[in-house]
Structure 1
Amino acid sequence: MTEFKTVTAAILVIGDEILSGRTKDKNIGYIAEYLGGVGIDAREVRVVPDVEAEIVAAVDALRARYTYVFSTGGIGPTHDDITADAMAKAFGVGIDHDPRAVAILKARYADGELTEARLRMARIPDGADLIENPVSGAPGFKIGNVIVMAGVPHIMQRMLDSIVPTLETGARMIAETVSPGYGIGEGMIAQPLAAIAAEHADVSIGSYPSFGPQGFQTQLVIRGKDPAAVAAAKTAVELMVRAVVAQKQG
């Protein structure tokens, strides 16, 4: 069996507003899809409150388990933006106003506009690399294998554009979809699909039911990194579906 390079990631969302439901997260799906497109496999998502101990515990657990951790939220100018301090604590380093970040903010704001609150956004853990923020200036940062970005979606997306080209990537995931059509439920294909999954253990096969204007339907998605393996599994699934449809019609 061909070995394909695997690079993994976790997504860490920080913010009381997400857990309360006041703010609806728009970052998880975007990050996961973006990473999948470049060959980084998102394996886990966690959402934690603006509590230092909770952030530190999550960072310590995830950075030991995955190649990268992508964090969003909590690096703004207000008192409850504590992510940078929590990251410094997790890595056991100091934190202060970073001259590079200060220079960026000074270039962005007019005289008198760079308040103490805004200067909080220049507090970066010692030894971290800055992540460019072409939208509002205030940078994110990368410390160890943890990438710390803003929570505002359009800012986060530009930070992701800035940092991902510098990261290690692996083989991209290939996904193929087979749609049996309306009226073919999961119960009708569960047993033969399980047999196919067992025979093609080098790919992942998922079953996703939904309801449309003509009734229920099921989409079968085959995922893997080996094009030949994905193609072989897709062929097996298509043959199975045809047999199930023929049996139903006959």
Structure 2
Amino acid sequence: MKSPDKIWTAGLVIIGDEILSGRTHDKNIAQVASWLQVQGIRLAEVRVVPDVQARIVEAVNALRAAHDYLFTTGGIGPTHDDITVDAVAEALGVPVVIHPDARALLERYYADKGGLNEGRLRMARVPEGSDLIPNRMSGAPGIRRGNVILMAGVPHITAGMLDALTGKLEGGAPLLSETIGCWVAESEIAQLLREVEQAHENCQIGSYPFFREGRVGANFVIRSTDAEDLASCVHTLCDGLATSGYDFTPGGI
């Protein structure tokens, strides 16, 4: 479902002491952002919070009010510190219940793995009124209630849940991008970048400097939801670089 004239946004809450301590490196921000772009939704805000229920509640309420969608990763597993379901239920003002379909899924999954014990049953808990997100990687499903979507923190399981959501969310036109690379200090062409962006109001230009081979350079990423506007902006930027005497590389360096 697409609404091309509206800019749809999402917030993401990354939950886990292991992320904040540095023991685990987060890989979900990039993959969630990339997936959202294809759905026509922009990841507009990210918060990383500890395994503290009050902090999760605060973040969930703030971001779900500010954006069209709120995603969480982490904290929906079988252990005592997996408290995301409890926190989201508190934020939404609903009780936590055992989802019968989730229980049935887990019973089948663990039938030859020792059965459904108390810890495993925790993964069938949802905020009342929730729907399930299929999880082809393991038995425990993701959870969706309204504009709030709860996913696992393990990146390959997160990816599977995102795949199951593909095409299921209302969004706008996908965000398109082109990259131009140039061996130039961005400070030397800051005025050019500003003028080109101002001349193409439906486009944004991001400048990403680097230092390689003893030289400075930058990749310029042009983004727009309109293919014609994007092409025009890229052409204007390339023409400006050439006129200023700089070689450039389509696709980036």
User: What is the TM-score normalised by the length of structure 1?
Assistant: 0.92
Question: What is residue 239 of structure 2 aligned with on the other side?
Answer: 239
Question: What is residue 109 of structure 1 aligned with on the other side?
Answer: 110
User: Which has the larger displacement, 77-86 or 154-163?
Assistant: 154-163
1:143 maps onto 2:120 in alignment: no
Structure 1: distance between partners of 2:246 and 2:7: 40
Letter in 2 for 1:150: A
Matches for 1:87-166 after TM superposition, within 5 Å: 87-110=88-111, 112-166=114-168
Structure 1: distance between partners of 2:67 and 2:104: 33
Please state how far the C-alpha of 1:189 moved relative to its aligned partner: 0.4
Please state how far the C-alpha of 1:170 moved relative to its aligned partner: 1.2
Q: Is the Cα–Cα contact under 8 Å of residues 14 and 72 in structure 1 kept in the other structure?
A: yes
Structure 2: distance between partners of 1:83 and 1:141: 11
Q: Deviations over 1:37-69 (max 9, x none)?
A: 221111111111111111111111111111111
Moved over 3 A (4+): none
Please state how far the C-alpha of 1:192 moved relative to its aligned partner: 1.9
Change (3 A) 1:246 1:25: closer
User: What is the TM-score normalised by the length of structure 2?
Assistant: 0.91
Structure 1: distance between partners of 2:94 and 2:40: 31
Q: Deviations over 1:188-209 (max 9, x none)?
A: 1011221222222221011111
Structure 2: distance between partners of 1:73 and 1:50: 9
Question: What is residue 35 of structure 1 aligned with on the other side?
Answer: 36
User: Which has the larger displacement, 238-247 or 201-210?
Assistant: 238-247
Q: Deviations over 1:140-178 (max 9, x none)?
A: 100120110000111111111112321112101111122
3-state DSSP of counterpart to 1:178: strand
- Structure 1 segments unaligned to the other structure (5+ residues): none
Letter in 2 for 1:163: L
Matches for 1:201-212 after TM superposition, within 5 Å: 201-212=201-212
Structure 2: distance between partners of 1:63 and 1:113: 36
3-state DSSP of counterpart to 1:168: coil
Structure 2: distance between partners of 1:123 and 1:29: 28
Q: Is the Cα–Cα contact under 8 Å of residues 13 and 48 in structure 1 kept in the other structure?
A: yes
Question: What is residue 186 of structure 1 aligned with on the other side?
Answer: 186
Question: What is residue 224 of structure 2 aligned with on the other side?
Answer: 224
Matches for 1:45-124 after TM superposition, within 5 Å: 45-110=46-111, 112-124=114-126
Instruction: Give the fraction of aligned pairs with identical amino acids, expressed as a percent.
Output: 50
Structure 1: distance between partners of 2:179 and 2:214: 19
Structure 1: distance between partners of 2:246 and 2:232: 21
Q: Is the Cα–Cα contact under 8 Å of residues 171 and 225 in structure 1 kept in the other structure?
A: yes
Q: Is the Cα–Cα contact under 8 Å of residues 188 and 244 in structure 1 kept in the other structure?
A: no
Richer in helix (by share): 1
Q: Deviations over 1:105-143 (max 9, x none)?
A: 111112743111111111111000011111111111001
How big is the alpha-carbon RMSD for the aligned residues of Structure 1 and Structure 2?
A: 1.6
Please state how far the C-alpha of 1:24 moved relative to its aligned partner: 0.4
Aligned residues: 243
Q: Deviations over 1:71-118 (max 9, x none)?
A: 100000111000000011010001122211111111111274311111
Question: What is residue 22 of structure 2 aligned with on the other side?
Answer: 21
Change (3 A) 1:246 1:212: closer
Structure 2: distance between partners of 1:244 and 1:188: 10
Change (3 A) 1:215 1:246: closer
